[in-house]
Structure 1
């Protein structure tokens, strides 16, 4: 049972409270060496924070689609799955093979979206070799969550994983619906411009509130959230099981950081409701 929402329904009024960015880690994943992404732990944290559901991702080839699909089958009222494939042309002689793999995954489990991680999977968002792949994704009707934050350990040049690369992609494939993870990182104002230029771009709040606390970027985040919240273009997420000093950050902590920010920038109840669940629920058809 999902517990009382700990005051969130009174504050935000969301029909459904959703962590829009969470990772499940199977025991064979290299990420499991440093983080605990066990489904039961995520369920516990969702309950503790009063959340109804979480959007959970595979990350090809490091976190298997089957593992995520199995968790979603076991908890269909709590987990919403995003598939992952590797569109990298250096891996596949035919980039459309990744689209075929995605179509096959959808015949086996009704994933609600696609997760791509360019800096880990080693491809550039706007590489024209991937245009046909993204056109197939549009035909499948799937939104795409793209990791978009600069980090030192990257398989592609840092400049290849910035928000303006998403703008280039959308000019080639205008029908694509994209969730920009981590609000574009320190380039959050660039992500804001991309969202203004393209009506189906959403920014998620995962990790950035913790990462940029006390910096000028924190002020940029507040500015962008204030501007885009009325347009229903901001999505709450935690990046579970992101860790800090070897201790997993509770979802409640991420929730409270965001709620405090919403109060500071004076969002109204409807805007908070959109961020905390209604926007992602509308996008994925969860109502």
Structure 2
């Protein structure tokens, strides 16, 4: 991957469909999230289509599935398929994996294999969908592998559009995604590289506190149009957290085109913009 030739690195994109047509979400949850984000038209790009989309824009993309099979009963897009697509498109795709914490020690062994045999660079957790608090001890064997291998743990934080508007929110509980629970993880795994995904509504101040206090904790800006960012998030991105804030879109729910157009209108210092769009991610992910 030639980082110098990239215009940006998007650290938050979703592989929502497998080569065989399977999806990580039930149809009900998928349709609800499309409605929440006002997604128009077809939404499920294949992995080769994602690669082509980002190559056209001279961007790289971190791509992952979400494994929440314990809670939803729906198997994820295979991690191996995501990693193989990244290996076939190394100029634009960066593979992350997702392992349901309820898989226990078997999940930890799977994580190690994905890093060692498939070159996975990080792991996505969605506590609200997976139904666990990030500081639940049964997830710790998984974190141990992630810390030991020097890969990244990316946690969804704040409200989620998944299940929004369905009866009972589709059974998804928002409480699991308070970033303060990740603070415990950052204490217990002091060398773990962590990303708090999204503006963490209604816990934005908590996320900023954790990221300023714990050296290994970063924030990605995915899932929201920048014009809706809370003012304190913009303030910290411009100052104390300028080296720890990362561009992310949440594609295909939110496109990088829309995100970047709105980001250009934010009052972000000229010296800070390249850090957010590319430099911070390149450093965190160890890209040359």
Which TM-score tier does this pair reach, normalised by the shorter chain? Answer: 0.7 to 0.9
Q: Distance in 1 between matches of 2:252 and 2:64?
A: 12
Unaligned runs of 5+ in 2: 32-42, 68-74
Q: 2:197 matched to which residue of 1?
A: 181
Contact 1:21–1:240 (Cα < 8 Å) also in 2: yes
SS in 2 for 1:66: helix
What does residue range 121-200 of structure 1 map to in structure 2 within 5 Å?
121-151=130-160, 152=164, 153=169, 157-200=173-216
**RMSD over aligned Cα, in angstroms?**
2.6
What do the CA deviations read for 1:213-270 (whole angstroms, capped 9, x no partner)?
Answer: 3xxx63233223223443x10000110000xxxxxx4321111111221xx24x132x
Unaligned runs of 5+ in 1: 3-12, 243-248
1:286 aligned onto 2:287: yes
Q: Distance in 1 between matches of 2:276 and 2:171?
A: 31
What do the CA deviations read for 1:148-174 (whole angstroms, capped 9, x no partner)?
Answer: 122353756422210111112222222
Q: Which runs of structure 1 show a deviation greater than 6 angstroms over 4 or more consecutive aligned residues?
A: none
Q: Distance in 2 between matches of 1:185 and 1:229?
A: 18
Q: Distance in 1 between matches of 2:61 and 2:209?
A: 28
Q: Decide which of 109, 115, 132 is 2:124's aligned counterpart.
A: 115
Evaluate the alpha carbon distance shift between residue 154 and residue 181 of structure 1 in structure 2; reply closer, same or farther with a 3 A threshold.
Answer: farther
Deviation, 1:68, is 0.7
1:276 aligned onto 2:285: no
Contact 2:129–2:173 (Cα < 8 Å) also in 1: no
Deviation, 1:40, is 4.1
Q: 2:252 matched to which residue of 1?
A: 241
What does residue range 55-134 of structure 1 map to in structure 2 within 5 Å?
55-60=62-67, 61-88=75-102, 92=103, 95-134=104-143
SS in 1 for 2:265: helix
Deviation, 1:44, is 4.4
SS in 2 for 1:275: helix
Contact 1:163–1:187 (Cα < 8 Å) also in 2: yes
Q: Distance in 2 between matches of 1:254 and 1:184?
A: 17
Q: Distance in 2 between matches of 1:81 and 1:159?
A: 28
Q: Decide which of 44, 62, 66 is 1:36's aligned counterpart.
A: 44
Q: Distance in 2 between matches of 1:238 and 1:36?
A: 15
Q: Distance in 1 between matches of 2:198 and 2:156?
A: 7
Q: Distance in 1 between matches of 2:170 and 2:147?
A: 27
Deviation, 1:16, is 5.2
Deviation, 1:39, is 2.8
What do the CA deviations read for 1:153-202 (whole angstroms, capped 9, x no partner)?
Answer: 37564222101111122222222110011132332211000001100111
The count of corresponding residues between Structure 1 and Structure 2 is 256
Deviation, 1:205, is 0.6
Contact 2:111–2:142 (Cα < 8 Å) also in 1: no
